Amino acid sequence: MKILASVFFLLFFFATVSTAQEKVIVLATTTSVENSGLLNHILPIFEKKTGIKVKVVARGTGAAIEMGKRGDADAVFVHAKELELEAVQQGYFVNRHDVCYNDFVIVGPENDPAKIKGLKKATDAFKRIASSQSLFISRGDKSGTHVKELKIWEMAGINPKGQKWYLEAGQGMEKTLRIANEKRAYTLTDRGTWLAIRDKLDMKILFEGNPILFNQYGVMAVNPQKHKHVKYKEAMEFINWIISKEGQNAIASFKDKFGNQLFIPNAK
């Protein structure tokens, strides 16, 4: 019995040591890179190369940045560059880099009740949706997509808040798309999530191509001077990898089942 007990003790000891030595970082990120499948594609490559496990917490961009500000994450990977640069200026983050981009598109029912297809400006599309009182589903979650949407409404000179035709989902991109699909409504989406689930939806892209719809993704590390417990060294290994040639090639190789590239790498 003593020998058996000793064996169990040694097994427990080595398992505990192994767990303690395992390197793990928390990556706060936006739902669009999670819903699209990008992280499932690139993280195994990084983890195999470095031995660092990445625990992903997907939120809207605003919530992901707040996680980093609180020190509840080691790095953030989001898509609201103005908010990111503001948070860097405030001292919460360091070493921000552009990583990749795609664009936003306006999707809706094929019959296009607001007649936005063929318009040249996103602001004109939003004006048509408002004037026709066609149902619009907003993410309403302070995500990068929501920030972009609010900017377009502002540029169009429209405050949709409280209007009967304007509903805030308070959900991630995939769920918002599904709600819009069920309600035969319009919504703004990043192209990556759209391409990842479009075959499950009875919707069409009705507006695209306006420069205002450019969608930049960036990565940054939580400032270790703000939160001494964060795993800054490991976070920087992830950042340096994702902006490296290998990381950028991994992003470029991610395509949907139809062969469409969902994100374009553009780290400098």
Kindly give the residue spans of alpha helices, DSSP state H, lying in 132-243.
144-156, 173-183, 191-197, 232-242
pLDDT at 23: 93
- Reduced to 3 states (helix: H, G, I; strand: E, B; else coil), residue 93 is strand
Task: For residues 19-35, give the mean pLDDT.
Answer: 83
Lowest-pLDDT range of 13-22, 56-65, 125-134, 210-219? 13-22
Report pLDDT for 32. Answer: 87
Does 239 score more than 70 pLDDT? yes
Residue 10 has pLDDT above 90, yes or no: no
Q: What residues are paired with 59 via a beta bridge? A: 30
pLDDT at 13: 43
**In the predicted structure, residue 12 carries a pLDDT above the cut 80:** no
**What CA–CA distances, in Å, run from 39 to 2, 77, 225, 259?**
47, 10, 28, 18
Given a contact cutoff of 8 angstroms between Cβ atoms, the answer to whether 200 and 193 are in contact is no
Residue 267 · residue 243 · CB < 8 Å: yes
- Cβ-Cβ contacts under 8 Å for 110 (sequence gap 6 or more): 202, 203, 204
Fold entry, domain 2-102+215-265? D-Maltodextrin-Binding Protein; domain 2 (3.40.190)
- Predicted local confidence at residue 221, as pLDDT: 98
Q: Give the pLDDT of residue 21.
A: 57
Grade residue 7 by pLDDT with cuts at 50, 70 and 90: very low
Which DSSP helix (H) or strand (E) runs through 75? strand 75-78
pLDDT at 2 over 80: no
Residue type, 241: W
Neighbours of 42 (CB within 10 A): 23
Higher pLDDT, 178 or 258: 178
Q: What is the pLDDT of residues 43-75, one digit of tens each?
A: 999 999 999 999 999 998 999 999 999 999 999
- Give domain 104-213's CATH architecture: 3-Layer(aba) Sandwich (3.40)
Distance CA 8, CA 107 (A): 59
pTM: 0.85
User: Contact 50/209 with Cβ under 8 angstroms?
Assistant: no
CA distance 135 to 13: 60
pLDDT of residue 256: 87
Task: Break the chain into its structural domains and give their ranges.
Answer: 2-102+215-265, 104-213
pLDDT in tens, 162-178: 999 999 999 999 999 99
Joined together, the tokens standing for residue 26 give 């928390």
How many residues does this entry show for the chain? 268
